[in-house]
Chains A and B, each alone.
Chain A
């Protein structure tokens, strides 16, 4: 069965500091990996996705993520955080086997940005 672990429930960073949110996955085949962001009171918006090819993926709002197969990780990074990045971030895994088009989400990381 596929699963996703986001080990950090809450993270606080200062505006302008760099950010890394951790995501580890378990999947029996080639995974498809996603990062979503949820602003307060809103639905989820896709930040970026990895299917194949270059392991460093660029997304919207200046975010990037790196797929590391050997570590089963897909960590999200941003060089300089803005106050508007305060939100909840979800990592998700999907694939062609064992679930068709379903995604499995992590429990989320709440990001607080200090001014």
Chain B
């Protein structure tokens, strides 16, 4: 089975802190994604990566950056956390080539910024 793991299930940080969310997948997927999930808004794409060191902005990239140094690992970085970034963050991965590829999700990280 495909496994996508996220470094923390729950995280509490203070305003202005630099925050790293880590995601690792074990199925040699080319694509990796970061979403945030908020009640009533569904999942919104922050960034995605289709190859090592490659990244593209999603729908809401402001205030975030990403890093993909190895194929299996995709990091989301909040350079200076703010309270409006309190949310559930979901990582996903999929094979390349075509929009018909199922995305496999991690369990999520619930981030609270105080």
B48 proximity list for chain A (CB < 8 A) = 101-102
Q: Smallest distance from the beta carbon of A101 to chain B beta carbons, Å?
A: 5
Q: Smallest distance from the beta carbon of B67 to chain A beta carbons, Å?
A: 19
A99 on interface, CB distance cutoff 8 Å: yes
- Judging by beta carbons under 8 Å apart, are B90 and A44 in contact? yes
Contact among A44, A51, A99, A101 with B94 in the assembled complex (CB-CB below 8 Å): A101
- Judging by beta carbons under 8 Å apart, are B58 and A49 in contact? no
Q: Which residues 2-59 of B sit at the A interface, judged by CB distance below 8 A?
A: 4, 31, 33, 35, 40-45, 48, 50, 58
B96 proximity list for chain A (CB < 8 A) = 101
For A34, A95, A101, A105, which residue has the most chain B Cβ atoms within 10 angstroms? A101
Q: Is the interface of A mostly helix, strand, loop or mixed?
A: loop
A101 to B56, CA, bound (A): 12
- Judging by beta carbons under 8 Å apart, are B42 and A108 in contact? yes
- Judging by beta carbons under 8 Å apart, are B103 and A103 in contact? yes
Name the residue on A nearest B44 (C-beta).
A105
Q: Smallest distance from the beta carbon of B3 to chain A beta carbons, Å?
A: 11
- Judging by beta carbons under 8 Å apart, are B42 and A105 in contact? yes
Kindly list 14 other residue pairs between chains A and B, CB separation below 8 angstroms, not including A101-B96, A103-B103, A108-B42: A36-B105, A41-B107, A44-B92, A46-B104, A90-B42, A95-B99, A99-B99, A100-B99, A101-B101, A102-B45, A105-B42, A107-B40, A107-B41, A107-B42
B→A interface (CB under 8 Å): 4, 31, 33, 35, 40-45, 48, 50, 58, 90, 92, 94, 96-108
A→B interface (CB under 8 Å): 6, 9, 32, 34, 36, 41-46, 49, 51, 90, 94-96, 99-103, 105-108
The 7 closest A-B pairs by CB, nearest first: A94-B99, A43-B105, A107-B42, A95-B99, A105-B43, A44-B105, A32-B100
